[in-house]
């Protein structure tokens, strides 16, 4: 078999720095931008003084299972809503501008954290390897890049012949890494790192990478039933990418890392042609990713899954039994989406003593009144208070969610979360 080769597709509407390695990527701050950064950091520091504990103290107490003044609030606003905040809701600066201009993403994350008085600076991923396996892609104004044409991976020859790209060199990933690292450097410069945690994403997981970058969702749903060897080969190569990305973000020494899990998309056991097909080995694949990234550089950093898909209930015991969650040498816990039963999932994590957060419905923030939002938060706050490693979660925040609604919701969560 021939040696695998990089098969990088074209990216339409890409910025001029696209594909520049991280080591050569550099953006200068103007004096006016430096003033904005300083003011945002001053506000974050001032916010931290308003409560009994700083966000960092509350974050660390949660992961260590120690007492705290209130529940830690894990809010995933996404880069899109952060740009919305920086844009002052004018619908002028587009989320896609943030992906093309990393400085805008740095400013927008600082602005969002300062404005909403958050417990965390949350850096979510900008892309999902759309063009790194051979397909072409296009950058968009209001979303992550979209893949063009047919998916690039259809046969065993396709997957065996493609080399895994490097997030420090290829696509828009160097821009994400630069912006994340720059934010951490800024936090250190102004002392924000002493009061505020920052978490970095290395989403998506191997299955998400396969669906979004390699096979597409349609073929990706069929392959587990029809071609297990190809499914395993894709998952193995996708895991190599996820490990590379996880190690790259870990090298910046954030306070935590998280990885999306798409496992609700397929069940652990499925049927085809009257035969049962066992997909439970996928949990071993995820557990391996966790161990590899956690061991990198020999430093312990908490890691958790971000799980938003209904259907994950079937994977819950498999993940735990196979070491894909609840392990200090891998993924320590999980953050669950609104379609999951909070009583069940908080209980599962509580009984096994690992981190858990359960989000309210992002559409409730967009479409509901505060009475409904408070009721959703109250249910989760009551359950979260039963164990010191639980948090209260929001996410993902819809782009069109009005600022007063999310601001009031965060204030309500803090009030309900008090012990």
Contact of 199 with 256, CB cutoff 8 Å: yes
367 inside domain: yes
3 inside domain: no
pLDDT value at residue 1: 64
pLDDT tens digits, residue range 268-310? 998 888 889 999 999 999 999 999 999 999 989 999 999 977 7
Residues facing 137 on adjacent strands: 11, 147
6 inside domain: no
pLDDT at 2 over 80: no
Find tokens 């299972």 and name the residue. Answer: 65
212 inside domain: yes
The domain spanning residue 143 has which CATH number? 3.20.20.210
pLDDT at 198 over 90: yes
Find tokens 């920052």 and name the residue. Answer: 198
40 inside domain: yes
2 inside domain: no
181 inside domain: yes
Q: Residue 345 belongs to what domain range?
A: 11-416
pLDDT at 75 over 80: yes
Could you write out the three-class secondary structure of the chain? CCCCECCCCCEECCCCCCCCCHHHCCCCCCHHHHHHHHHHHHHHHHHHCCCCCCHHHHHHHHHHCCCCCECCEEEECHHHHHHHHHCCCCCCCCHHHHHHCHHHHHHHHHHHHHHHCCCCEEECCCCCCCCCCCCEEECCCCCCCEEECCCCCCCHHHHHHECCCCCCCCCCHHHHHHHHHHHHHHHHHHCHHHCCCEEEECCCCHHHHHHHHHHHHHHHHHHHHHCHHHHHHHHHHHHHHHHHHHHHHHCCCCCEEEEEECHHHCCCEEEECCEEEECCHHHHHHHHHHHHHHHHHHCCCCEEEEECCCCHHHCHHHHHHCCCCCCCCCCCEEEECCCCCHHHHHHHHHHHCCEEEEECCHHHHHHCCHHHHHHHHHHHHHHHCCCCCEEEEEECCCCCCCHHHHHHHHHHHHHHCEC
The answer to which of 30-39, 104-113, 239-248, 355-364 has the lowest mean pLDDT is: 355-364
Phi, psi (rounded to 5 degrees) for 260: -65, 145
- Helix 31-48 to helix 102-116 angle (10° resolution) is 30
pLDDT value at residue 274: 82
119 inside domain: yes
What pTM value is reported for the model? 0.97
Q: Once rounded to an integer, what is the mean pLDDT over residues 218-247?
A: 96
pLDDT tens digits, residue range 129-138? 999 999 999 9
pLDDT at 237 over 70: yes
Question: Chain-centre distance of CA 409, in angstroms?
Answer: 21
Six token digits for residue 196: 């505020």
d(CA 119, CA 115): 12
Domain count, the chain: 1
pLDDT at 54 over 70: yes
């Amino acid at each position: 078999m021939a040696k695998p080769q990089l098969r990088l597709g074209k990216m339409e509407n890409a910025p001029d720095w696209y594909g520049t390695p991280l080591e050569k990527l550099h953006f200068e701050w103007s004096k006016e931008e430096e003033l904005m950064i300083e003011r945002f950091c001053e506000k974050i520091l001032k916010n931290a003084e308003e409560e009994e504990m700083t966000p960092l103290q509350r974050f660390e107490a949660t992961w260590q299972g120690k007492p705290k003044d209130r529940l830690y609030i894990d809010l995933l606003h996404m880069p899109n809503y952060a740009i919305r905040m920086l844009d002052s809701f004018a619908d002028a600066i587009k989320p896609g501008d943030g992906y093309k201009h990393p400085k805008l993403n740095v400013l927008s994350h600082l602005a969002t954290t300062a404005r909403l008085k958050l417990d965390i600076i949350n850096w979510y991923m900008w892309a999902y390897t759309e063009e790194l396996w051979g397909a072409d892609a296009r950058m968009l104004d209001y979303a992550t890049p979209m893949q063009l044409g047919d998916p690039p991976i259809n046969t065993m020859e396709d997957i065996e012949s493609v080399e895994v790209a490097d997030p420090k060199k290829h696509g828009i990933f160097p821009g994400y890494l630069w912006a994340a690292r720059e934010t951490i450097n800024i936090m250190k410069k102004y002392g924000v790192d002493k009061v505020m945690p920052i978490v970095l994403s290395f989403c998506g997981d191997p299955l998400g990478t396969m669906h979004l970058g390699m096979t597409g969702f349609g073929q990706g749903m069929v392959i587990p039933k029809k071609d297990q060897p190809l499914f395993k080969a894709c998952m193995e190569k996708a895991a190599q990418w996820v490990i590379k990305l996880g190690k790259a973000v870990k090298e910046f020494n954030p306070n935590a890392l998280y990885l999306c899990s798409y496992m609700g998309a397929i069940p652990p056991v499925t049927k085809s042609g009257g035969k049962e097909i066992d997909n439970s080995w996928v949990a071993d694949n995820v557990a391996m990713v966790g161990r590899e990234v956690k061991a990198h550089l020999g430093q312990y950093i908490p890691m958790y899954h971000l799980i938003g898909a209904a259907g994950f209930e079937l994977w819950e015991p498999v993940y735990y039994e196979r070491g894909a969650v609840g392990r200090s040498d891998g993924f320590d816990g999980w953050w669950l989406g609104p379609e999951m039963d909070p009583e069940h999932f908080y209980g599962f994590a509580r009984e096994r003593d690992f981190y858990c957060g359960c989000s309210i419905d992002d559409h409730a923030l967009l479409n509901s009144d505060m009475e409904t939002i408070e009721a959703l938060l109250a249910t989760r706050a009551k359950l979260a208070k039963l164990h010191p490693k639980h948090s209260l979660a929001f996410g993902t925040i819809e782009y069109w969610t009005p600022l007063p609604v999310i601001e009031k919701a965060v204030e309500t969560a803090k009030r309900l979360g008090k012990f």
